[in-house]
Structure 1
Amino acid sequence: MNEKANYGNWVPEKALYTLFGAVIVLGVIAVAVQVALSEMVIAIIVGVLCILTLVMAIYMLICHETFAFGKGNMMAGVHEHLIKHLDWDGEGKLLDIGCGAAALTVYCAKAFPKAQITAMDHWGVEWNYAKEQCEKNAKIEGVADHIAFQKGDAAKLDFPDETFDAVVSNFVFHEVRTAKDKRDVVKEALRVLKKGGVFSFQDMFSQKALYGDMEEFVRILKEEGISEVHYIGNLEKKLDFIPGFVTTPWMISGMGIIYGKK
């Protein structure tokens, strides 16, 4: 059997194990309190907590299956949407910022077979991804020959100005802890883009707590020399492949895209 690439999931399996484990522990405690101590009130309280945790665990499992490649494929749909807004012929160099397990990177490599792709990520211990996993996925998918992976900080990219012909990033900028103002991460991504190059970024752009007034931000980018900038907000309410049950504040809320040409 051919080995399959492992791109992970927005809902980590560790989180599922933790939730279902908590359900078991709470269930045992509820029964033990009732049987051993005859404390009905405490048993009921713990039992209610157990049921609520079970509901959350089932919900997160459904979300996990919805996001998963080869199952619900919602993550694949998100990547396809991003690339549809990248007006590029595939000739030259492309940068994927915050590549994670290289799912978007591999998508780009297949969509633009002539491109030389650089993919970078922080790959911190808190994330269930690693550079070795990216390299393995690229090899399995048969695109390793035109992808280079490197560790880096999205807030301070280790590339000279105007290095790349295209730059992409998917749900990364809001996670960059080394930048207090997430707008600065967007500007840093545009710094390494060549004049006339194209970009497509998806993130929680419609969350004002993160990005403020996006229409204002678009005007600022244009004033700073970005020739073409488009913004579409609240995508979770507009894209047919995103089911309503994942559009919660703790899952996907305020999704947006900015794309255009420098």
Structure 2
Amino acid sequence: MENKYEGWFSNKFLNILYLSTIAFIFLQYINDATIHNTVLAVILFSLFLLMLGFTLFLRFCNRKLEYKNGSILDHKARALMKRLSIKDKKCTVLDLGCKKGFTSILLAKNKRALIKSVDINDECRSLLKEAKVNKRVEAIASPLTSLPFKDETFDYVYSFFPSKKDSTDIIKEGLRVLKKNGYIAFEGHCEDVSSFEELGLHVIYDYKDVPGYLMLPGLLKDSVIIYGKKSH
């Protein structure tokens, strides 16, 4: 099934960039029609080219980072799931930061897993229903750092790029609701990895098969994988 998940950057953000690019053309027109300032014209044209190039580059990266079958993120999401080592038995799984549900659908391939898909909104509902997994996957709207679950609720916690910012507090909340001897697998941006290493979790940086142009701030640069068993 082709996923309808929005890309890495929202369409709203990209549209703002397009409008900003057009604004430089408008300012250039105003300058040509009024003050005829050559220096200003050169500056505006240069800014237009820079903004256009920047916008097209982000658009290109956005297409490369779409959540759909066969994409870079699809491969990385599946690889992260293997680190959970989910056994073929009845279990509870938390998809922490599920976005529109792409990863929840992948997790639901384990037919005996009961999954809670959590994000700041529940916009994943339509995709879960379309994939016919909504009976085993419950969508819940909640802040990712303040989950509506008791301590040690889940057998597994999965979190794939829940935020483009530092996700330290999100991981800590995921560990709170994870049962003792349960497994967690996180991939994303996290500054305070040392505290998780002290808990016995594995911390690795895996950029295999990631093109260099995606290794930039705001994209996949400095992303980290944190996984392992909660021992205490």
**By how many angstroms is 1:83 displaced?**
0.7
| Residues 1:71 and 1:135: Cα distance change in structure 2 (over 3 Å) | closer
- Structure-2 separation of matches of 1:19 and 1:38: 26
Q: CA RMSD in A?
A: 2.1
Alpha-carbon contact 1:85-1:259 (below 8 Å) kept: yes
**By how many angstroms is 1:44 displaced?**
0.8
Q: Which 4+ residue blocks in structure 1 deviate beyond 4 angstroms? A: 173-176
**By how many angstroms is 1:12 displaced?**
1.2
Amino acid paired to 1:105:
S
Amino acid paired to 1:139:
K
In structure 2, the residue matched to 1:33 is: 31
| Residues 1:219 and 1:28: Cα distance change in structure 2 (over 3 Å) | closer
In structure 1, the residue matched to 2:97 is: 98
SS in 2 for 1:221: coil
Amino acid paired to 1:80:
R
* 1:14-33 paired onto structure 2 within 5 Å: 14-33=12-31
**By how many angstroms is 1:87 displaced?**
1.4
Amino acid paired to 1:220:
E
Structure 1 gap ranges (5+): 124-130, 177-181, 223-228
**By how many angstroms is 1:172 displaced?**
2.0
**By how many angstroms is 1:120 displaced?**
1.1
2:59 aligned with 1:61: yes
Q: 2:208 aligned to 228, 239, 244, which one?
A: 239
- Structure-2 separation of matches of 1:37 and 1:161: 67
- Structure-2 separation of matches of 1:158 and 1:170: 20
| Residues 1:187 and 1:8: Cα distance change in structure 2 (over 3 Å) | same
In structure 2, the residue matched to 1:220 is: 198
2:184 aligned with 1:199: yes
SS in 2 for 1:239: coil
**By how many angstroms is 1:45 displaced?**
0.7
**1:133-165 CA deviation, whole Å, 9 max, x = no partner?**
311101111211200111222222221222111
- Structure-2 separation of matches of 1:89 and 1:78: 20
SS in 1 for 2:124: helix
| Residues 1:257 and 1:60: Cα distance change in structure 2 (over 3 Å) | same
Q: 1:186 aligned to 171, 179, 183, which one?
A: 171
Alpha-carbon contact 2:114-2:136 (below 8 Å) kept: yes
Alpha-carbon contact 2:164-2:218 (below 8 Å) kept: no
Alpha-carbon contact 2:118-2:139 (below 8 Å) kept: yes
In structure 1, the residue matched to 2:154 is: 164
**By how many angstroms is 1:5 displaced?**
4.5
2:30 aligned with 1:9: no
Structure 2 gap ranges (5+): none
| Residues 1:82 and 1:29: Cα distance change in structure 2 (over 3 Å) | same
- Structure-1 separation of matches of 2:186 and 2:226: 5
Identity of paired residues, percent?
Answer: 28
| Residues 1:71 and 1:5: Cα distance change in structure 2 (over 3 Å) | closer
**By how many angstroms is 1:220 displaced?**
2.5
**1:236-258 CA deviation, whole Å, 9 max, x = no partner?**
xx320x21111111322101111
Amino acid paired to 2:16:
T
**By how many angstroms is 1:62 displaced?**
0.3
